[in-house]
């Protein structure tokens, strides 16, 4: 399940995709991350890393970053200093309602994830790393898919990852995603401003 690849197209933004960050979700995320190739990057660098199986602790829990896998992720971020950071995850079917719950901010402290289509969800990464390890202008995205995805869901997941991989900044990512997901992008911006104020994660 472990996987590491660097696509280097010279000058340009640095992107870091880290999947399988807890439990055995890497068995699912590798199906998408391993598909991304040289043809998907126009310039800059993309570092793709899929973690080995590890103990499941939510990344919303700061104790996660004291685990070996959490320290590994912080080391990747510190070493490569990405301007665009994506955490591909997967979720069990019974977690869908919790992840998209309109009261999620009240219950667990973060905004709900937003469904794009086919059960693929998008939102921000853990506030802990967003605020402490990234600059205001950086892009930080969580992308979720069912752990046993349909072929359509996997296609959506891969296509969104490729959109982000082939974009240079927040504006380009949003412009591309708005073509197919206008209301979802608008909602994501609203959640970001409500939660982070002048420090929007997406």
Q: Are 50 and 30 in contact (CB under 8 A)?
A: yes
Structural domain harbouring 172: 3-196
- With respect to residue 64, please indicate whether it lies within any of the assigned structural domains: yes
Q: Please, is 75 exposed, middle or buried when counting C-beta atoms within 10 Å of its C-beta (0-12, 13-18, 19+)?
A: exposed
Q: How many domains does the chain have?
A: 1
Query: pLDDT band at residue 202, thresholds of 50, 70 and 90?
Result: very low
- With respect to residue 201, please indicate whether it lies within any of the assigned structural domains: no
- With respect to residue 128, please indicate whether it lies within any of the assigned structural domains: yes
Give the pLDDT confidence of 45-90 residue by residue, as tens digits. Answer: 999 999 988 889 999 999 999 999 999 999 999 999 999 999 999 9
Give the pLDDT confidence of 148-200 residue by residue, as tens digits. Answer: 999 999 999 999 999 999 999 999 999 999 999 999 999 988 888 776 665 55
- With respect to residue 25, please indicate whether it lies within any of the assigned structural domains: yes
- With respect to residue 24, please indicate whether it lies within any of the assigned structural domains: yes
- With respect to residue 202, please indicate whether it lies within any of the assigned structural domains: no
What CATH number has the domain bearing residue 72? 3.40.630
User: Is the pTM for the entire model greater than 0.75?
Assistant: yes
């Amino acid at each position: 399940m472990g996987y590491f690849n660097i696509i280097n197209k010279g000058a340009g933004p640095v992107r870091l995709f880290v999947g399988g960050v807890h439990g055995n979700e890497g068995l699912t995320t590798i199906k998408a991350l391993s598909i991304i190739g040289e043809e998907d990057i126009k310039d800059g660098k993309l570092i793709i890393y899929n973690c080995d199986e590890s103990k499941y602790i939510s990344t919303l829990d700061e104790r996660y970053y004291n685990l070996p896998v959490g320290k590994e992720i912080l080391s990747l971020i510190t070493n490569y200093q990405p301007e665009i950071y994506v955490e591909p995850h997967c979720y069990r079917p019974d977690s869908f309602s919790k992840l998209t719950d309109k009261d999620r901010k009240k219950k667990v402290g973060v905004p709900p994830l937003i469904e794009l289509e086919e059960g693929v969800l998008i939102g921000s990464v853990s506030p802990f790393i967003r605020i402490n390890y990234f600059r205001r202008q950086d892009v930080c995205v969580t992308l979720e898919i069912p752990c046993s995805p349909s072929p359509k869901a996997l296609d959506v997941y891969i296509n969104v990852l490729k959109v982000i991989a082939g974009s240079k900044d927040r504006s380009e990512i949003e412009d591309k995603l708005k073509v197919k997901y206008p209301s979802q992008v608008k909602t994501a911006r609203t959640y970001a401003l409500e939660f982070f104020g002048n420090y929007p994660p997406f």
